[in-house]
Structure 1
Amino acid sequence: MRIRRPRRPRGFRLADSAQQLVGGFLLAGPFVVTEEVWTLAGNMTIFHAVGTAGVVFAIGYAALYKADTTRDTTDEQRFLGIPVRFISLMAVSFGSVAILAALFGAPATFLDASDTADLAQTTVKAISIGAIFSVVGAATADSIFAK
């Protein structure tokens, strides 16, 4: 009879984040530069934005841990009880949209820059919309290249 050692959590590597970045940026780009997204964001309430962010979290978790049946949250490194891979996925999903919006000057292009409070709020809402698509790309890239 062979005694099995308990498995150690799989290390989260920089390459894992790089894979997520590629997928996240790939799908975020088209939504950052679309006027309809910014118009939609301008008409959203804070409750819509929070709900949209919740959808991003749900899609990310489902894509990483439910769609990929070989991955288990108990086998991964954690930070404050949350899998590091999931934290990275959320940072990439929202961050890639925010970075592209800033690099392209999208808020100033699509919004009235004189109202800075509305500019900031609408930008956050637009980021939540773009993150829905970014999380799909980031999670897909992470799952495809997982070893």
Structure 2
Amino acid sequence: MKFRRPPRFRLADSAQQVVGGFLLAGPFVVTEEVWDLATNMSLLQALITICLVAVIGYATLYKADTTRDPDVERDVAGVPIRFLSLLCVSFGSVLILALLFDAPDTFLETNQLSAEGLLVTFKAVSVGSVFSVVGAATADSVFSK
């Protein structure tokens, strides 16, 4: 019986995730419709969207790519580092671009630092992350071979 070593998570994998995450996050950060959706979403809908991002990311990393086994990867508190990195990149890329492009001030009628502005930005980031996670996970899976 021949044992295969699981692919190690490297800094290059995070870099690939960042490229994919930013690539697909950009168009959604600067779309007024996303900010309108976020304004009208409930907090529960945003939290469910965040769960959807996690499910999409996990499925892409570990179910679509059968060469990876989350049980043998390095982890933090039982959560694979690759998956944690993916989530940080997915949400982080959207947040960074939103702030860099000044999207909250552009699309919100309220002050972005008010409680309402922060909540809408949180919800907009959750929406944009649905697309960012697809790019980040795909880039990680395609280029890690």
TM score, norm. by length of structure 1: 0.92
CA–CA distance in 2 between the matches of 1:10 and 1:69? 11
1:71-115 alpha-carbon deviations (Å, 9 max, x no partner):
111221111110000000000000000000000000000002437
Contact between 2:6 and 2:67, CA under 8 Å: does it hold in 1? no
SS in 2 for 1:75: coil
CA–CA distance in 2 between the matches of 1:70 and 1:90? 20
Where does 1:68-147 land on structure 2 (aligned, <5 Å)?
68-114=65-111, 116-147=114-145
CA RMSD of aligned residues (A): 1.6
Following superposition, the deviation at residue 9 of structure 1 comes to 5.6
SS in 2 for 1:11: coil
CA–CA distance in 1 between the matches of 2:67 and 2:8? 15
Give identity over the alignment, percent. 63
CA–CA distance in 1 between the matches of 2:5 and 2:65? 19
Following superposition, the deviation at residue 69 of structure 1 comes to 1.1
CA–CA distance in 2 between the matches of 1:100 and 1:38? 14
Contact between 1:10 and 1:77, CA under 8 Å: does it hold in 2? no
Where does 1:17-36 land on structure 2 (aligned, <5 Å)?
17-36=14-33
Alignment partner, residue 48 of structure 2: 51
CA–CA distance in 2 between the matches of 1:136 and 1:7? 27
Show structure 2 runs of 5+ residues with no match: none
Q: Give runs of ≥4 in structure 1 deviating > 4 Å.
A: 6-10
Alignment size in residue pairs? 144
CA–CA distance in 1 between the matches of 2:143 and 2:54? 21
CA–CA distance in 1 between the matches of 2:27 and 2:139? 18
CA–CA distance in 1 between the matches of 2:15 and 2:128? 19
Show structure 1 runs of 5+ residues with no match: none
Amino acid at match of 1:132: V
TM score, norm. by length of structure 2: 0.94
SS in 2 for 1:71: coil
Following superposition, the deviation at residue 146 of structure 1 comes to 1.3
